[in-house]
Amino acid sequence: MAAPALKHWRATLERVEKFVSPRYFADCNLRGRLLGDTCPLAALSSFLTPDRLPYPEAVRQHFRPAQVGDSFGPTWWTCWFRVELTIPEAWVGQEVHLLWESDGEGLVWRDGQPVQGLTKEGEKTSYILTDKLEEGDPRSLTLYVEVACNGLLGAGKESMIAAPDPEKMFQVSRAELAVFYRDVHSLLVDLELLLGIAKGLGEDNQRSFQALYTANQMVNVCDPAQPETFPVAQALASRFFGQRGGESQHTIHAVGHCHIDTAWLWPFKETVRKCARSWTTAVQLMEQNPDFVFACSQAQQLEWVKSHYPGLHARLQEFACRGQFVPVGGTWVEMDGNLPSGEAMVRQFLQGQNFFLQEFGKMCSEFWLPDTFGYSAQLPQIMRGCGITRFLSQKLSWSLVNSFPHHTFFWEGLDGSRVLAHFPPGDSYGMQGNVEEVLKTMVKNRDKGRTNHSAFLFGFGDGGGGPTQTMVDRLKRLHNTDGLPRVQLSSPGRLFTALEGDSGQLCTWVGELFLELHQGTYTTHAQIKKGNRECERILHDVELLSSLALARGAQFLYPAAQLQDLWRLLLLNQFHDVVTGSCIQLVAEEAMCHYEDIRSRGNTLLSAAAAALCMGEPGPEGLLIVNTLPWERTEVLALPRSGGAHSLALVTVPSMGYAPAPAPTSLQPVQPQQPVFVVQETDGSVTLDNGIIRVRLDPTGCLTSLVLVASGREAIAEGAVGNQFVLFDDVPLYWDAWDVMDYHLETRKPVLGQAGTLAVGAEGGMRGSAWFLLQISPNSRLSQEVVLDVGCPYVRFHTEVHWHEAHKFLKVEFPARVRSPQATYEVQFGHLQRPTHHNTSWDWARFEVWAHRWMDLSEHGFGLALLNDCKYGASVRGSTLSLSLLRAPKAPDASADMGRHEFTYALMPHKGSLQDAGVIRAAYSLNFPLLALPAPGPAPAAAWSAFSLSSPAVVLETVKQAESSPQGRTLVLRLYEAHGSHVDCWLRTSLPVQEAVLCDLLERRNPAGHLPFRDARLKLTFSPFQVQSLLLVLGPARTETLPLGL
């Protein structure tokens, strides 16, 4: 044996690197011996199609001879390959692989079943034909490989997030058989891990040198050309990895995972195949590694697999029974955490949890949302109401300004609900099992001393792919090695159980988890945002009217199946790269088709429910005026008249009920309502006054004055104008559709109108209005009607924009005569405050925030609220309220937001607090207009109300049929406390209620939740922002013949 010599660190390290390198010295190093003899395919033929065909149809097509290197495409097409192969006799006893390399995503089919994905970017470039060829095994075999003309992350032109290249061509660069040497693979894994330990622990660490010297000695004893030397080298590695760590070592819970975006840089239909490619590979790994656990979220994706790949779905159910396939998340998709309504978030869990229970025998206990762009403060309450107390994410690691201070903590929501939250300290959901990641998970953990367990999610993600056998081999080898954290192949359940055992010292984070990045997603693709808001409203209204028709008519059939279909479409669109607008044009177009489907079918269901409500009622044929909100409303409504004309009427409709339409002769406002006065001055300015507020517009359409008439209080800042449109340069650092950067605020340019463009529209009485045109730029223009109705506490701005810009951001500003260090923004089932100043980095990182239907800036005794019907981006800086209207990013969709837009916002000055002034109700009214529905027979002659509430602090948000309802006569009501107060509330109903009982958000009865129901009412007690659900079991309905729901 050679005498020991001094070692140069870098030279020794590089010696080992070169020994395992696929690039250097592969003719003589170990890597070059991974594969033995190769053999060409017996035959290769192909069939190209623009469609995504099912296997039985594809294999019946005409296949033409093909060769390695042939081009096929273009983008989004599919090339099917028939692979005919014959394994040489000389390979008996060997492990034999099909080697396949392509820049398209592949799926291997064998005996009519999908068996493995083949994706070069996902390090899956071989399929194991046999792990040991036996004498009696068949030598000839025919496989099919379905190759999608897109990569793992789509087909961006020149960069990942660029719009897809529609003409991109693809090819198979390798297709042959080879002998695979498993012992070489094991040595390569060991040497790479030893290198990782040496590099990761560094030159100041004793264990680092032991790893490097062990690797060096392995190189000394291992002759790649002589396999008989391999066991000696393997023994050296085993001795090193067999040296155990201490009891105090940090424990890493390694869970296989494959994050698949339900749509992003590829269309929804491609995701279906991504699931098959990824999960067949996971099934292989579960078969080969009984201790390997694969966590899988998103019920929608599993439902797709059940429909398109029933054999694969059955295998997943089998491994779920073994505890290796673990459904997580509990939601229909991994939705955006900011924009969906509270009710939509509940439905994500309701649909998801019910699917998991039905298909896999149990519900999820962890909410799994690793990649969304912020997390609402109401999520903890919604989670707990859906049986979930554990939360896993990691996206806050992307925050640009501040580092979130925890990886394991309790998250406390708006109402005080708490869940245990864990962010993998490696700041990724796509680990690959190398030493650098393992060390980072331990070193970067921000809760050292409070907990000693961390998650480690491994597998290629975003575009799918998932774990590989190499990753599993690495993690098994690192199971318990001195100098490193302990690594366990684990499950989400075992991880959280360990964290709960350690939870006594954990800190608590209160309120929203705000991502300091991707703030442009609140505004990008405005038409998607509008479709989302509108369809949330339509489904709310359909469910309410259908529930009332069910309660009042024995023959009405509640359209449960149709509503489930429509809800699932809406929930699908709320995926975190769709409703946010951060998707390619193809996905945006599909999303708009989904919204149109919901609108069309939803309106048909609305008409059916309205018709059912009218049956058996006396009264003239005509219109039914429906109020779907839980308070009485008196509003101006445009009623359709004969000949296609409309006439304005002031109508009063009781809460969650209806009223007959007034006859044309009784359309004048009833005193003491003051009519609207409209005056145009000689300078071209216009004043609108309804006795509640007085609005003054200058000759260009800017708002120079907004006065609360009773007090004379001016709402617009002195010397400033409101309704000021402003344009910003909008060029982020990289993530175009996602990001708006703080420096955009330095490029503010007011859009100046021309005097003389303001004209009077409606001349007063029941409604007054003025309208104007505004040229935003040479390419974009805007028209707006400013409307004030009799008795209305807010002024509306109906806006139409023709938008043709590049990297510009349009907002509208309202400088207020109000001073406050914080503004209030509506979120799901409540509201929260955010600072109006930039004192700290946490404050100025919120230069652009999200809100739902309103935001408000108030000081003691007075405030100004800005309402909207389809916008989400907002900010209040100092005393200026700003609503984000339109962006113009060019990637990944070059056409995003181009074209015509319509939207409405409104301004409401108010006395006192926003709660006492009715801001919340006003925003609801703007978003849920009264419905004028045609009555096919006689319309009811009298008004009727189904539900009313004694407290303005409580909102009855949802009325629907219970998911599991004997004879269908059980309703679910969902209410929440909206003011931020403790309150008792009486719910009164005219429905034939037999029993009332509290339930959770999944509609499971609370055993102690029976509610006394007397005199047609029941009492509920709320704490601030609490959501409560209850089941109402209905008695028999009247028996008039009613039409069936469609």
C-alpha torsion sign, points 371, 376, 380, 381: negative
CA 470 to mean position of chain CA atoms: 31
Residue 184's H or E segment, with its range, is helix 182-201
| Closest C-alpha among 604, 462, 590, 601 to residue 528 | 590
Q: How big, in percent rounded to 5, are the helix, strand and coil portions of the chain?
A: 25, 35, 40
Q: Label residue 228 exposed, middle or buried (CB < 10 Å: 0-12, 13-18, 19+).
A: exposed
- Name residue, tokens 């002998």: 179
At residue 622, what is the residue type?
G
CA–CA dist 934, 940 (Å, integer): 12
- C-alpha–C-alpha distance, residues 765 and 647, integer Å: 13
Determine which helix (DSSP H) or strand (DSSP E) holds 207, and give its type and residue range: helix 206-221
CA distance 962 to 970: 6
CB 324 within 8 A of CB 292: yes
Tokens of 252: 């890493």
Alpha-carbon gap, residue 139 to 90, rounded angstroms = 11
Element (H, E) at 686: strand 686-689
**What is the identity of the amino acid at 438?**
V
The reply to whether omega before 889 is within 30° of 0 (cis) is: no
Reported in sequence order, the residue ranges of 149-233 that DSSP labels E, i.e. its strands, are 170-180
Please state, in angstroms and rounded to a whole number, the distance separating the CA atoms of residues 476 and 492.
18
How many Å apart are CA 1019 and CA 1035, to the nearest integer?
20
Residue 100 CA to residue 145 CA, distance in Å, equals 10
Spatial distance between the Cα atoms of 656 and 627, rounded to a whole number of angstroms? 5
Peptide bond into 224 cis (omega under 30): no
Tell me which residue of 462, 415, 117, 39 sits closest to 258, measured CA to CA.
462
Long-range CB pairs of 691-694 (<8 Å, 24+ gap) are: 692/791, 692/792, 692/793, 693/788, 693/793, 693/794, 693/795, 693/909
Catalytic residues, which ones?
Answer: 371
937: helix, coil or strand? strand
Cβ neighbours for 153, distance < 8 A, ≥ 6 positions apart: 121, 160, 265, 462, 463
In whole angstroms, give the CA distance from residue 56 to residue 772. Answer: 61
In angstroms, rounded to a whole number, what is the distance separating the alpha carbons of residues 28 and 20? Answer: 10
